[in-house]
Structure 1
């Protein structure tokens, strides 16, 4: 097939959507399909990807030619700005929904148009909560993770401390992780917290740690490259994902692929991302997070969680997820 994948956010930008788009495009191409990626993301001095054909900021005429060339047009993240192209050309359409299709910044006419647009083709939702907001025909295909994280874990004797990974914004709940650590240490549990990520709340989080007398127990590492992050996953006792909401939660999959169990908030798509490989707590509940973390730090509990990891990770490997997408793309092309 000729597959045109539109991912408005794409490499060198970083994030879950960008990672998924790049991984799927590469996997489809690796099994013999011809893939083009169109994006509005500029290179900004970074080197272009050698393994993929990427068209950046195409003109309307170029976009029309790309869509006419394609056997199927896949939108990774719904965009009203380009939905008219498959309508005009009759090219089959598949829309991947990474986020809820209700709430957020889209309201009024824009939100109504996006909901109506889901009837123009087939839809994929990355989790059950996301699927519930898609009015058109929808199937669930979960997210995958980057192969860099799919590495053998270290032994238990080399694991040390808690880990938080994510943007330092309120919805990610890093403040809850710091508060949970304070409560754990008050209980006499001598552990630490490493925070990998950056964002507008970093100063407030550093003040929170200082006021809680945790300056020596909380380490702020800032933005962390994937190779280094994979190593941190392999050496952490637990990953804390105390998000106040997550459509899916790729960070949970990343750390599970590295053999590290998770304590996460029971919200959005996180229960699906975690599976039986972690403990779930109510969102926005620092005491519950501390309780579950204390429990998961017990070696017997952590061993049970780790035993469930291989099957769960195998379900989400990129070759398997890409194949599920290809089954859908073939059905959509044949119908049309």
Structure 2
């Protein structure tokens, strides 16, 4: 099939959707499909206004305008994309909570009759009422657009929004299991090393995480040395740094900023436990990568992390921050428990390996094509 992947954000920006769309394009290409990406993100050298470039063997259409902070917005893009998209067999729109480019693209694919699959990478949460009231998504589904979400937790509010307009599948994020497996045993220096990868922004809850890890330090015996590394960058860095300074934590909590994926793998290989503090985590690709690396994962219950972490088996799912701190302290204090969970994660590969996820994506495309034919 000739597949158009449409996403507000794409490389060189780094984030969950950006990396997933890139990897999906590579997987579909390897399976014999012709894939091109349409995005409102400028290229590495500022490519905009419909310019095309090839990124890792995939043609990328840069529909960006020159805007402050390179905002992924371009209401004029449909005028340029109409003729280009008319040559494709199916479109795959990737939605976040606020995705103006993806929304415009969905309106366009409906107008030109292009079979369309739409995957939601977000938790609608409080936006569900607004989305339901607008009625647009319900009309898209009723018209044959194949709806999916990255986890069952994310799919549930979308199903409520759609009512009987159409089914919602689960199309999870994918992972290259072999690439994330550690090479050799974890080096042991006697320090229990916690790690997390997140954007330092309010939604990801970096400051509450600092409160939790301070609680852990109080619960763990003084003789047990612990450390936390927070991989990522964002607007809340200053707030986090102030909290660390005020509470004397800067010596054992580090903020190295954004690091490349290869470095993330290396850091997971030397860590002991992964922490996912966000409440509204629709999937948690960083947590899945850590789980695949063997790390026990501690996350909030009710998030998408529950798709691949079973409470008490390969990590813990906590109802609140206090419970999260207690679970982390337990893991820090119990070497045998950490090793048991690590062994389970390395022995039992997650179900979200890319070959299976690519098959599910293909099924969504066939569902969209079939619905368009029937219409």
Per the normalisation by structure 1, the TM-score is: 0.90
Aligned length: 334
> Is 2:54 the counterpart of 1:31?
no
CA RMSD of aligned residues (A): 2.5
Where in structure 2 are the equivalents of 1:39-78 lying within 5 Å?
A: 39-45=39-45, 48-57=54-63, 59-77=77-95
Offset, 1:50: 3.7
> In structure 2, what is the Cα distance between the partners aligned to 1:124 and 1:312?
26
Offset, 1:154: 4.3
- Contact (CA 8 Å) 1:163, 1:240: kept in 2 or not? yes
2:188 alignment partner, one of 152, 158, 166: 158
In structure 1, the partner of 2:262 is: 227
Where in structure 2 are the equivalents of 1:1-336 lying within 5 Å?
A: 1-45=1-45, 48-57=54-63, 59-77=77-95, 79-104=102-127, 107=130, 111-120=134-143, 121-134=145-158, 135=162, 136-145=166-175, 150-158=180-188, 160=191, 161-187=193-219, 188=222, 189-275=224-310, 276-283=313-320, 285=321, 287-297=322-332, 298-310=334-346, 313-335=349-371, 336=373
> In structure 2, what is the Cα distance between the partners aligned to 1:29 and 1:281?
39
Which moved further from structure 2: 250-259 or 308-317?
308-317
> In structure 2, what is the Cα distance between the partners aligned to 1:100 and 1:181?
26
Any unmatched runs of 5+ in structure 2?
A: 47-52, 65-76
Offset, 1:102: 5.0
Quickly say closer, same or farther: Cα 1:146–1:260, change in 2 above 3 A.
Answer: same
Any unmatched runs of 5+ in structure 1?
A: none
Quickly say closer, same or farther: Cα 1:205–1:154, change in 2 above 3 A.
Answer: farther
Which moved further from structure 2: 218-227 or 300-309?
300-309
Quickly say closer, same or farther: Cα 1:266–1:39, change in 2 above 3 A.
Answer: same
> In structure 2, what is the Cα distance between the partners aligned to 1:300 and 1:22?
38
Moved over 6 A (4+): none
